[in-house]
Structure 1
Amino acid sequence: MRGILQVLAICSVALAAPSQLERANHVVHERRTAAPVGWVQSHRADADHIIPLRVGMKQQNLHMLEDLLMDVAHPDSPTYGQHWTPERVADFFAPSESTVSSIRTWLSDSGIAEDKVRLSPNKGWIEVNVTVATAERLLDTEYHVYKHPSGAKQLGCHSYSVPEHISDHVEIIKPTVHFNHRVSEDPTRLRKRANPNHLGQPFSGQGPKTNGAKIDAAFSLANCDQFITPECLRALYNFSYTPVATAKNSYGIVEFTPQAFLAPDLDLFFQNFSSTQIGQRPTLVSIDGGKSPSFNFNGESDLDLEYAMVLTNPQPITLLQTGDLVEGAGFDNWLDAVDASFCTFQGGDDPNQDGIYPDTLPGGFNQPESCGIVKPPFVVSVSYGQDEGTATHPYAIRQCNEYGKLGLLGTTVLYSSGDNGVAGFGGVCENSKGVDAQGARAIRFNPGFPGSCSFVVSVGATQINPGATVNDPESACEQVIFSGGGFSDIFSMPSYQATAVTNFLAVHPPPYSAAQFNNSGKARGFPDLSANGANYVVAIDGQFELVFGTSASSPVVGSMITMINDARIAQGKGPVGFINPAIYSSNFAPAFNDITTGTNQGCGTVGFTAVNGWDPVTGVGTPNFGKLLPLFLGLP
């Protein structure tokens, strides 16, 4: 297998080095402090091995992206809702001709034939296939193969450099330092993951079992503290709405192969909670060979689709099934499919993180990459993530900017905030150097990505306290999982949350030092809002199980935003798009249930604490749909 499941390496100082003069003109562009926990440098990469070198060029006007988003997304803006066309987005942010020319000249002067260099359709990436030896010479680096006790391997480098005169033209080069490969957790643990890359799957605990017979009598509003069902969610969030503009509306759910739904599971869920939907299926959009069903990993897909389909019925749901069974996919792959300007078939995807297509391996998707094959749905929910520390700054920033561009197009992108409180996947924290670590030195909080990106809606988790009812206040989720939240080590505080986050830090200062989290007062705080994430009744592999996680919260919030879009479309208006500037505004505050109890422990601490107003546990709170709907309907 290639891509996210196999290809790997890490750089240091090249043996096949450039001349002393060439080296003197190079400046370090990206550097990784150390390999993640468990990985050991094995051996030098084969000098003759061919790698697809991809140069991500510096885009124009990105410094304006946040302001442009505020123009179309802030409720007080006179241009609210005036979303851009894809053509306008692509043209506005494309690299300059001088940038393209400078990088082409660099490669040509380095001995690479011009006919071997290709430019992506949006002029954002340059691709050239080179040997490891050539890449080491170009980047003044050294590639190694790293191994993990699980048997996984990865190719990459510890750092790389570029000539000083082109450094301002380069955003990122792959494959290099982007050590995003993650291995599966101990299979004896209950926590199941979608794939070895740890792109998140819900915690599946012990719950009610069934042989397929109707068991609706076992679930009611009286026991929502034990069993969350669609009826419980409607009662919790005042969520009652029947869509009328389904033909013009759209809601997408992203799944990464091998995670896939089972049709009998959907019908079992429908039989008990929405019998008129028996036989209904999501509209499949196969991205890079994505297929359904799978018989190995079904929990996440079953959860997302069962609740999204019932809560928005009869709205058709678009399933963005991403990656083939051979190498799978990463976040860039689904972004390629919904935005042709981001599509990187001719350069850009990260072999260490993403599926690289066409896939010529036996059984692989041996066709052109799925580039711009589907219009971005108005709402997209993604219940997957990675530790922010496993992504370099250029990689994370480049991807985050793409979410901002989708916001300009009118799409709401939601990501679950994580299930380990202030820790990363598997409870892993960071050391003083900001890399995954274990033991006494692992004291630094480990924020999650893409939930920490300023241009996505990060969704945390709450719970109905044991013995409480749907009419009682919820608390931060502390059953089985802890709501992911904290402060980014990469992204600065966006203007839309400055008042809320600054107030939290001033009135409720966390009892931790700068050694434990980014306490600069200038960092992006997350999550943005929350929804219940405990005790979900989900049909998985022919039986009901209880599922916990922000993986459940995200599609629920996505369902509410989709219904708000339906009501706006029915009035001749457009979708709400990027909702963060609105939900942080003072006028929208009454539309959220403020969560004031609970913590998100991790890294040997209780984590942060839910308090009045925004907090890095539950955000601004949980939505009250009945109050939120008229506020959005009142906007242009």
Structure 2
Amino acid sequence: MLWLSLSLFVSLANAKPLVARWDNMKLKHGWETLPAHWVPIGAAPEGATIDLHIKLKSADADALIGTLLEVSDPSHERYGKHLSKEEVAELVAPHSDTHAIVASWLAAHNIAARPAFNGDWLQLDAVPIETANALLDASYQLYEHPSTGETLLRTQSYSLPAALHGHVSVVAPTTFFGTPQAMRATSRVEENTKVVQEDVLRAQALSPDAVPSSCASTITPSCLKALYNTTGFTPAATNRNILAVAGYLQEFANQADLTTFANRFLTGASSATFGTVLINGGQNSQNNPGVEANLDIQYTTGMSFPTPQIYYSTGGSPPFISDDNTPTNTNEPYLNFLDTFIAQSPLPQTLTTSYGDDEQTVPLDFATEVCNLFAQLGTMGTSVMFSSGDFGVGGGDCQTNTSPRKVQFQPIFPATCPFVTSVGGTTSVNPEVAASLSSGGFSNYFAQPSYQTSSVATFLNAIGTQFNGLFNRTGRGFPDVAAQAEHFQVVIGGRVGSVAGTSCSSPTVAGVVSLLNDFRLSEGKSSLGFLNPLLYSTGLSGLNDITSGSNPGCGTAGFTARAGWDPVTGLGTLDFGKLKALLG
């Protein structure tokens, strides 16, 4: 609906203020206490500006999710009939009255706006801080994260005119203090752990029934191909199938390291390469590559070569120090990436991301709208994977940030979003068991989606009253699936190191999913899109259940993996051969 975006732009540019009481402000969101680890350090520098995003409420609040579940349900007649960007824009379009009233409000403050995403968001560029404070009855100031040295402009609360609460869902950045450096990258280098300089198994056609015991201590692509039954499959739809990796923390993947990795750990892949898209000051100097970025691109390549890979390097995380050249605060980890990614043509069919925040640190309204953007990707045919986290049922003291504080398991966002596929971790072989680092549990924000009700109920009935009061029994359960998460052999700066974390698991699963997308596309079918309704129904027989191990945290033993779904390894690991047969 191009005409909608154009008409909205024109209305915002030309609208005259309507008669309205913009001074009748009503709180939209505020924190009871300042989010942990952030301290105020003073007023914004003179001349500072901030880029703002405004989410306009959709006229039909249920249309997007209803459509997503239909096109993702293998038993529905609409299965696989994904929507175009224009069709999604129509689904999420605001009510016509919304355009006029929001335009009037912005005009009263002499602010121009332009459409973003699929037309249901507005972007306000370089708004002076004093104007932003007046617009939102806010108090933007500088805050610092002492452990990272990062600073950013945020406000502990903001309000909207009462007349706008029925038209605007969220304004960002306002009260979300998460930034890429403060977000938790779900990987770590394993010091003093065995590494191998090359994969001696790569010339062998390993099967799931013959996974070498060496894979318990050193994971290579050959180990993963055997474990997840992809050995021998050659992608055929490489002219239209794309696998994307989202990166933050000023990290980028290094081409020389990928070439070294391919020569040492893959067969016939010395030509392996990847594209790079820079977002909001993302880096790609090819010096001092990131562990996370190299891990991701090496193992998506390792699982799916020669499928095209694209690494999205999203910046915005350096300390915010305003000057004449860079007066604008643009630290916004999710929206900056998604604004660019949704506009991609063609849109990658598979996306993996290995970052997350404690759910309680993300304002609910913001989390909801970011989650809905992932739902938009699903309706357009993109499968979205997020690592579940590396902190069991919770890291640190697990204190809530509400008053009075109490100990509670800490779920990880966006892994808790019901419209992404959350990936937990396993370790060992013959059999695989849950990795103790694997984050999992239940969302405090998102209700349990219908596609997993039966599976989660079986688990809850089995544990009875265990951990009562420490988690939300009616929340969305995560993770959904799992993959290996320890002892990954990664080339970093020309040298091989061992890496652990669900950052290893998510790109591994994404590689398998990309192969499934390749198979479907080469058969003239659609990509898989949102995976969960398939995984929890007919796809269940294509998974390997993990039935032992646990994820301790918060001073407890954590949940225990068991038959069926569990909040440690989800439904289990993917068997490509079985899933391919089911999807044929």
The TM-score bracket by the shorter chain reads: 0.7 to 0.9
From 181, 196, 216, the equivalent of 1:196 is: 181
Taking the TM superposition and a 5 Å limit, the aligned residue runs for 1:382-531 are: 382-424=353-395, 427=396, 429-431=398-400, 433=402, 443-464=407-428, 470=429, 472-478=430-436, 482-509=437-464, 511-514=466-469, 516-519=470-473, 521=474, 523-531=475-483
For 2:495, the aligned partner's letter is: Q
Task: Tell me the equivalent position of 1:630.
Answer: 581
| TM-score for both structures, normalised by structure 2 | 0.86
Q: Deviations over 1:463-483 (max 9, x none)?
A: 11xxxxx4x2211102xxx10
Q: What is the alpha-carbon distance in structure 1 between the residues aligned to residue 256 and residue 52 of structure 2?
A: 44
For 2:393, the aligned partner's letter is: V
Q: Answer yes or no: is 1:216 the counterpart of 2:189.
A: no
Which segments of 5 or more consecutive residues in structure 2 lack a partner in the other structure?
1-20, 204-210, 320-330
Which segments of 5 or more consecutive residues in structure 1 lack a partner in the other structure?
1-20, 182-194, 340-371, 436-440, 465-469
For 1:315, the aligned partner's letter is: T
For 1:205, the aligned partner's letter is: E
Pick closer, same or farther for the CA change 1:619–1:218 going to 2, 3 Å: closer
For 2:432, the aligned partner's letter is: E
Aligned residues of 1:261 and 1:293 also touching (Cα < 8 A): no
Q: What is the alpha-carbon distance in structure 2 between the residues aligned to residue 374 and residue 434 of structure 1?
A: 46
Aligned residues of 2:289 and 2:492 also touching (Cα < 8 A): no
Q: Answer yes or no: is 1:262 the counterpart of 2:262.
A: no
Aligned residues of 2:74 and 2:534 also touching (Cα < 8 A): yes
Aligned residues of 1:434 and 1:444 also touching (Cα < 8 A): no
* Cα distance, 1:46 vs structure 2: 6.2
Q: What is the alpha-carbon distance in structure 2 between the residues aligned to residue 107 and residue 504 of structure 1?
A: 50
Q: What is the alpha-carbon distance in structure 2 between the residues aligned to residue 429 and residue 281 of structure 1?
A: 42
From 228, 233, 242, the equivalent of 1:237 is: 228
Q: Answer yes or no: is 1:376 the counterpart of 2:382.
A: no
Aligned residues of 2:63 and 2:92 also touching (Cα < 8 A): no
* Cα distance, 1:47 vs structure 2: 8.1
* Cα distance, 1:106 vs structure 2: 2.7
Q: Answer yes or no: is 1:551 the counterpart of 2:474.
A: no
Task: Tell me the equivalent position of 1:600.
Answer: 551
Task: Tell me the equivalent position of 1:350.
Answer: none
Percent of paired sites with the same residue: 35
Task: Tell me the equivalent position of 1:184.
Answer: none
| TM-score for both structures, normalised by structure 1 | 0.79
From 92, 113, 119, the equivalent of 1:118 is: 113
Task: Tell me the equivalent position of 1:33.
Answer: 32
Pick closer, same or farther for the CA change 1:326–1:512 going to 2, 3 Å: closer
SS in 2 for 1:168: coil
Aligned residues of 2:202 and 2:266 also touching (Cα < 8 A): no
Aligned residues of 1:379 and 1:561 also touching (Cα < 8 A): yes
Q: What is the alpha-carbon distance in structure 1 between the residues aligned to residue 534 and residue 286 of structure 2?
A: 39
Task: Tell me the equivalent position of 1:575.
Answer: 527
Q: What is the alpha-carbon distance in structure 1 between the residues aligned to residue 34 and residue 115 of structure 2?
A: 31
Taking the TM superposition and a 5 Å limit, the aligned residue runs for 1:34-53 are: 34-45=33-44, 49-53=48-52
Aligned residues: 541
Task: Tell me the equivalent position of 1:154.
Answer: 152
For 2:220, the aligned partner's letter is: T
SS in 2 for 1:89: helix
Q: Deviations over 1:452-506 (max 9, x none)?
A: 1011010000111xxxxx4x2211102xxx1011111111111111111122112
Pick closer, same or farther for the CA change 1:539–1:131 going to 2, 3 Å: closer
Task: Tell me the equivalent position of 2:563.
Answer: 612
Q: Deviations over 1:66-90 (max 9, x none)?
A: 3211211111111111111110101
Q: What is the alpha-carbon distance in structure 1 between the residues aligned to residue 220 and residue 54 of structure 2?
A: 47
RMSD: 2.6
Q: What is the alpha-carbon distance in structure 2 between the residues aligned to residue 152 and residue 527 of structure 1?
A: 30
Q: Deviations over 1:558-617 (max 9, x none)?
A: 1111111111122111111111001001x3222111111111111111111111111111
Q: Answer yes or no: is 1:278 the counterpart of 2:270.
A: yes
Aligned residues of 1:418 and 1:448 also touching (Cα < 8 A): yes
For 1:607, the aligned partner's letter is: G
Aligned residues of 2:487 and 2:499 also touching (Cα < 8 A): yes
Q: Deviations over 1:435-459 (max 9, x none)?
A: 9xxxxx6621211111110110100
Q: What is the alpha-carbon distance in structure 1 between the residues aligned to residue 143 and residue 284 of structure 2?
A: 32
For 1:475, the aligned partner's letter is: V
